[in-house]
Structure 1
Amino acid sequence: MTYRPILPLQVSSPMPSPSEQMLYNSVRIAAVRAGVVTSYGTGFYFNLNVGLGVAPLLITNKHVIEGADALSICVHQALDDGSGPSGTHHNVNIALGEGGIVRHPDPSVDLCAIAVGELVKPGSLGGKNVYAVFLDESLIPDEQLWTDLDALEEVVMVGCPNGLFDDVNGMPIMRRGTTASHPALPYGGRQEFMIDAACFPGSSGSPIYLFNSYAFYNKPRGGIDMGSPRIKLLGVLYAGPTIDQRGRIVLTKDLGVSVQSMMHLGSAIRSTRILELAEEIRKKPSQD
């Protein structure tokens, strides 16, 4: 497996830039049942420290994989020397046995992980290695940073709205927006926040990054910091409010056709809740 630390500023060619690295972290998920694709969603790679080692995972929402017996995703092939992506990608299937699925223990938290140790082990692509960028816990804000965040922050979401992605290059879609609720405050009393961005079915499971390329407002200091990027994993999209034909607002995760209209808002689970999956993994000592 070609592991890459996520999103430190890369200055040497041919390493991808921080935003390019995001494209090698998110994947389109096609949920498959009895050989038929039933829905689309998004997932992203994450290395979770589980105490005795690191578990390579694909993070997504519970509802994305609900009812599926397999997932189909696009993976990139590494150059032979491991220095970067080769430009070749493959569609691979992941069988969903219960032993490989880790669900968040709180039924109200729409978050889960799929073990991908076998997928990313050396030589898994017919003798070639997978190239992927894995996030890790260093990208999750600590309590001090959550407190320091301003009400309006710039965010980037990387996913596959309505199942859309660049199938020629194997790349997801990037969308820019802002926080819509104060990220330092638990929205509705839950460990969640809202974003102002175009969120559509298929975007469920997308990582949401705090992404300041060159400058940002430093609230504790009361001034502008410039010169280096500020990039953190803020959360995971799981739903978005819609307006039905009667004008009622509904929080929906459904992928079916309806007369509801999206409100250009999204509901996200705080990234800190990913860490709560570690205890569930420790209960499964045979996991990859």
Structure 2
Amino acid sequence: MELNHIQEQFFFSTVRIVTEEKNSDKISIGTGFIISVPVKGEEHKVGLYLVSNRHVLKNPDDRLKLTFHRGNKGRLKLGNFVNIQNDSFNQVYIDHIDPKVDLACLNITNLVYNDPEIFYKSMRYDMLSDFSETDLLPGASVWFVGYPENRYDISHNLPILRKGSIASIPKIDYNSRKEFVIDAQVFPGSSGSPLLTKIIPECRILGVISQTMIRHGKLQTVPTDSTLGVEQPLGLGIVIKSTQIREMLDHAIENKIGFIE
């Protein structure tokens, strides 16, 4: 199968994340996406990072399961999977240096490069928006890829793409945090989903889905292990800006965090 369109490739940049608390049967499900980042000072070397929310990767000592697609010499074998399971992931875990920012990632460089059967597509570091784009305006169409309510194409291990629009002025920090609002239905399992838009001539990563708004003015972290129950979402979501992703990745690359020799 050839993946000639970037919209198709995003489905293979996104990974379903399952964590299981030790000494417990509690399982959490969220979304992550792969970004390739050039390693400064080392020509042609890139780091691969699985970006998500801090509340998805909440305890690096938990058990972790990642399901990738299987390939052969760079060609996808659709419907075949590679399951990676570890009892902890603290050696490759990185979070944002500000504990109030709900971002974390895993350095999966060694994991992917040491297993030639893993097939993936990575989003590029230079796709991260700096929010200076003149066409980045309220009402702009956006889409995000993930596993809402743990719904996905099980046969092919493919996530779901959903659409919405920007509901606040994206260049202004919503409530004085580096976040903005989207008009879209955000459900459990969508935590960590990349939010994307088309700014000619190419796509931009605008941020990471983090929270949903519910009635009575509450903000709630998008849960990874339960439904919203009787609480009614307003159809509005909170997105952490891509500038925060850049800060986290720059810190990881500059300090070479998570590279296992």
TM-score bin (small chain) = 0.7 to 0.9
Pick which of 185-194 and 165-174 moved more. Answer: 185-194
| Structure 1 contact 148–184 (Cα < 8 Å) conserved | no
List per-residue Cα deviations over 1:33-61 (Å, max 9, x = no partner): 23845211100001123424432110000
Specify the code of the residue in structure 2 equivalent to 1:266.
Answer: G
Partner of 2:175: 188
How many angstroms apart in 1 are the aligned matches of 2:258 and 2:50? 17
Q: Counterparts in 2 of 1:152-167, with a 5 A limit?
A: 152-167=139-154
CA 1:286–1:111 in structure 2 vs 1: closer, same or farther (change >3 Å)?
closer
Specify the code of the residue in structure 2 equivalent to 1:161.
Answer: P
How far did residue 249 of structure 1 move? Answer: 2.1
How far did residue 200 of structure 1 move? Answer: 0.4
Q: Does 1:110 align with 2:102?
A: yes
Q: TM-score, normalised by structure 2?
A: 0.87
Alignment: residue pair count: 250
Q: Counterparts in 2 of 1:83-98, with a 5 A limit?
A: 84-87=75-78, 88-98=80-90
How far did residue 118 of structure 1 move? Answer: 2.8
Local SS of the residue matching 2:111: coil
Partner of 2:137: 150
List per-residue Cα deviations over 1:187-223 (Å, max 9, x = no partner): 11111111111100110000000136xxxxxxxxxxx
How far did residue 71 of structure 1 move? Answer: 1.8
| Structure 1 contact 156–211 (Cα < 8 Å) conserved | no
Local SS of the residue matching 2:210: strand
How many angstroms apart in 2 are the aligned matches of 1:75 and 1:36? 23
- The root-mean-square deviation of aligned C-alpha atoms, in Å, is 2.2
How far did residue 16 of structure 1 move? Answer: 3.5
| Structure 1 contact 48–275 (Cα < 8 Å) conserved | no
How many angstroms apart in 2 are the aligned matches of 1:116 and 1:81? 19
How many angstroms apart in 2 are the aligned matches of 1:50 and 1:279? 11
Aligned equivalent of 1:70, options 63, 69, 94? 63
State the structure with more CA Rg. Answer: 1
Local SS of the residue matching 1:93: strand
List per-residue Cα deviations over 1:171-199 (Å, max 9, x = no partner): 00100111111212211111111111110
How many angstroms apart in 1 are the aligned matches of 2:142 and 2:231? 25
Q: TM-score, normalised by structure 1?
A: 0.79
Q: Share of identical aligned residues, percent?
A: 30
CA 1:286–1:209 in structure 2 vs 1: closer, same or farther (change >3 Å)?
closer
Specify the code of the residue in structure 2 equivalent to 1:273.
Answer: Q
